[in-house]
């Protein structure tokens, strides 16, 4: 179901003490605030999932993983399966982040397998995609995004889309301080909704939450979130400070 979502991707930041401190800061800062059906999600590192989950218990904060392996179990040293994530009570996983694609060689085909494994285990998928700077400069950004989405998600049946959240993260805006303009975000989000509508139907496309990610900060969040097809944000750097993250959550109200 389409809802407003502000999600924090903590990436490879914070040890267990820092993770708990941040989670405690968010719980305290959000207590008693009216969120108007906005979902708040944080994605700490694997080793800190349980600790953050304990802190978040009873609060509005949902905890998600940043990645997972596509197989159930076996000789995959260093990997974590969907079953392991659900065994600690997780309900969502981020897949397809550009850093996974770039540094760990994750292809659309691999991501399709990961998406299938996550959905088969009842996990919601926050699916990330976005073009690099050269694609935008050469005007290929729409076709790149369309390929990323169709290759990894368009094999799904309509019912599966109830567990998909899309996160458009132009790579040139991630961690660079250079955010997409609200107009650029809206233009791409409207395009994304259209290709989903063309593949499935308009009603389904209207129900999908589409988040924007890339240098989203307290100072620019309100304008980006004001756009019709922007349902929230996937936040990196600014999610590492409770005050900033809360300010971003407030910007969507």
> Which residues sit at the interface with ligand 13P, rule CB under 6 A?
9, 97, 169, 174-175, 213-216, 234-238
Phi then psi dihedrals of residue 127, to 5 deg: -95, 120
Q: Which two tokens stand for residue 57?
A: 């218990």
* Inter-residue contact 230 to 5 (CB < 8 Å): no
Nearer to ligand 13P, 55 or 234 (CB): 234
Question: Minimum CB separation from ligand 13P for residue 103, in Å?
Answer: 12
Nearest of 96, 88, 11, 94 to residue 56 by alpha carbon: 88
The continuous run of DSSP H or E covering 124 comes out as strand 124-129
**Cα 216 to Cα 213: distance, rounded to the nearest angstrom:** 6
**Cα 133 to Cα 138: distance, rounded to the nearest angstrom:** 9
Burial 143-167 (b: 16+ CB within 10 A, else e): ebbbebbeebbeebeeeebebbbbb
Question: Minimum CB separation from ligand 13P for residue 11, in Å?
Answer: 7
Question: Minimum CB separation from ligand 13P for residue 253, in Å?
Answer: 20
- CB nearest ligand 13P: which residue? 236
Q: What is the DSSP letter of 89?
A: T
Nearer to ligand 13P, 70 or 98 (CB): 98
Question: Minimum CB separation from ligand 13P for residue 158, in Å?
Answer: 27
* Inter-residue contact 141 to 170 (CB < 8 Å): yes
**Cα 60 to Cα 33: distance, rounded to the nearest angstrom:** 10
Residues in the chain: 253
* Inter-residue contact 90 to 105 (CB < 8 Å): no
Nearer to ligand 13P, 117 or 130 (CB): 130
Nearer to ligand 13P, 69 or 100 (CB): 100
* Inter-residue contact 208 to 196 (CB < 8 Å): yes
Catalytic positions are 97, 169
Question: Minimum CB separation from ligand 13P for residue 73, in Å?
Answer: 28
Nearer to ligand 13P, 83 or 250 (CB): 250
């Amino acid at each position: 179901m389409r809802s407003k979502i502000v999600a924090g991707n903590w990436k490879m930041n914070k040890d267990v003490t820092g993770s708990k401190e941040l989670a405690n800061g968010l719980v305290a800062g959000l207590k008693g605030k009216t969120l108007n059906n906005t979902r708040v999600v944080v994605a700490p590192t694997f080793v800190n999932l349980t600790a953050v989950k304990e802190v978040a218990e009873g609060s509005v904060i949902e905890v998600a993983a940043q990645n997972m392996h596509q197989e159930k179990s076996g000789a995959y040293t260093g990997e974590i399966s969907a079953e392991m994530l659900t065994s600690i009570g997780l309900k969502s996983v981020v897949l397809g982040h550009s850093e996974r694609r770039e540094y760990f060689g994750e292809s659309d085909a691999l991501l399709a397998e990961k998406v299938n494994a996550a959905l088969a285990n009842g996990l919601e998928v926050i699916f990330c995609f976005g073009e690099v700077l050269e694609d935008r400069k050469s005007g290929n950004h729409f076709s790149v995004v369309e390929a990323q989405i169709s290759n990894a998600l368009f094999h799904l049946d309509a019912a599966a889309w109830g567990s998909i959240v899309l996160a458009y993260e132009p790579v040139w805006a991630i961690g660079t301080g250079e955010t997409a303009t609200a107009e650029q975000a809206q233009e791409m989000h409207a395009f994304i909704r259209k290709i989903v509508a063309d593949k499935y139907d308009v009603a389904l496309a209207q129900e999908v939450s589409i988040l924007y990610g890339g240098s989203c900060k307290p100072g620019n969040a309100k304008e980006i979130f004001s756009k019709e097809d922007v349902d929230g944000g996937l936040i990196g750097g600014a999610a590492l400070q409770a005050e900033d993250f809360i300010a971003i959550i407030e910007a969507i109200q």
